[in-house]
Amino acid sequence: MLKRKEFILGAAVGLTFAAAATAGGVITWPGAHAAPAAAQAGRLVPSAGAAGLAFAPPQGAPLSFADIFQQVAPAVVQIDVKTRVQRPNGGGFLQIPGFGAVPIPGQPRGGGSGEEGEDDNSTTALGAGSGFLISADGFIVTNNHVVENAEEIKVKLSDGRELTARLIGRDPLTDLAVIKVEGSTFPFVSFEDKAEPRVGDWVIAVGNPFGLGGTATAGIVSAKARDIGGQENPYTDFIQIDAAINRGNSGGPTFDIYGRVIGVNSAIYSPTGGSVGIGFAIPAGIAKATTDRLMRGEKIERGYLGVTIGNLTNEYRESLGLPEGTKGAYITDVTAGAPGEQGGLQIGDVVVSLNGRPIEGSNELTRAVGAVKPGETLRMELLREGRRQTISVRAGTRPANLGAAQTEGGDETAPDAPAAIVGEKVEGLTVAPISAALRSRYELPETVRGVVVTAVEARSEAGRLRFQPGMVIVQANGRNVAAVGDLRAAVEAVKTARRPGVLLMVRTASGNVPIVLPFAKSE
């Protein structure tokens, strides 16, 4: 696992958790052969066919999806949860699984609804979501965010029965969970993890929007391999669909016209909280691999390097003088003592391949490392100071709480009055070696190395980029900076090469950030 970081600020987009649910069955089209299936087990088997036609509708397919719905609906379930939530101090809303922020009737100033907890700041809330049976003995797939922290889970079947479910396992990093009800003859469906849907293929969703139960919607695959940002789902290339999904649909599957489950929906893009035709589903291949392990009672462990990465943008590439078309994951920070540091990775390295697989950006490296087992050797080809080299790193185990594992300790003692600072000016920045006084003034950990910014010319390029005193220049032009002379030498080398700016690795309060500092134009 790697920490990812975005380096360009943009408008925040709300992703409202929601999903659609479905199941599968055997469909016989008029004038066409049915997809082969083990009907007696209620499980679909993908039909054989040409690679490009795996998801094409059979000749003579009807204009209605009614037959498909009748086959798949029995495996779709409604999930009701009772969860202990914190009661807000200043507003009448609760964050309820499957519904998001919900106003509390009669409590405009932060009062609660439901049963009060032992303390005055918690209450019991009810939430709803969707799920689907994947075995005859009662295993059910849903989203992690539907059942996370649930004190009680109830499942309503399509035949009206209501059963108590128990949590088997969950994986927050893929937003998947498995629960189980007791029984042995439940209708169920299977994941289609071999044939992949294409953009434009039909999809159908059945779920529990707003608690309404068995609701079907249809649409197409709008896009594939979507990255929806953030740390919630770093290991998932989402399928984007336009079948209408809303709150309460979380955890249900999306299926194709053969009733094969091709994804588990977990999020929608929505400025309003309702469906606007942009939904995201976890692909069946990822969902099956994860839920199979959860069903076996296995702990989900992932490989870990302990580095912060970003994409190698054209601006960074040009500043480093790398050939046009060079792609890779750009390392901006290395956690002390982590496997990456022990294996020789450095800030400024550009990883271009892992175990022979090309790496085009940070998402690919994150998922490739997360897919390996802890202890496996990662053979990484990288660019360092413009030269290609290969190193091997033994993957560690991703910490359960990665944020806590990487929190830096600080000295909370009040700093003494700072001594006078003597700095040197470089491209609009006044910089100085890190001294004890500067570490105290700017609360810099002992592990930080570089030159610290003590002043910024407001009208310079550095001022325009909002450099601030206390920032530390760790690298320049891909080389470590230990003194002001190192920074000057890097700047002169880049100017001699007639490049428009120097790429700096800058430590900020939120971590290392690569910044291209353009050179002032000559008059």
DSSP state of 47: P
| Spatial distance between the Cα atoms of 173 and 274, rounded to a whole number of angstroms | 24
Asked if 175 is an active-site residue, the reply is yes
Whether 33 is a known active-site residue: answer no
Helices (H), 63-150: 66-72, 144-147
Q: Residues 130, 190, 250, 275: which is the catalytic one?
A: 250
Other CB atoms within 10 Å distance of the CB of residue 302: 21
What's the burial of 475, exposed, middle or buried (CB within 10 Å: 0-12/13-18/19+)? Answer: buried
Instruction: Reduce the secondary structure of 403-425 to three states and give it as a string.
Output: HHHCCCCCCCCCCCCCCCCCCEE
The token pair that represents 152 in the structure block: 């009680």
Q: Is the dihedral of CA 70, 72, 75, 81 positive or negative?
A: negative
Active site residue 145: yes
Those residues with Cβ within 8 angstroms of residue 383's Cβ, 6 or more apart along the chain or in another chain = 322, 326, 328, 349, 350, 352
DSSP 440-481: HHHT--TT--SEEEEEE-TTSHHHHTT--TT-EEEEETTEE-
Which of 175, 193, 242, 349 is catalytic? The answer is 175
Q: How far apart are the first and last CA of the chain?
A: 48
Catalytic residue (one of 130, 145, 353, 486): 145
**Looking at this protein, which amino acid is placed at residue 349?**
D
Give the whole-angstrom CA distance, residue 225 versus residue 250. Answer: 20
Give the residue numbers marked as catalytic: 145, 175, 250
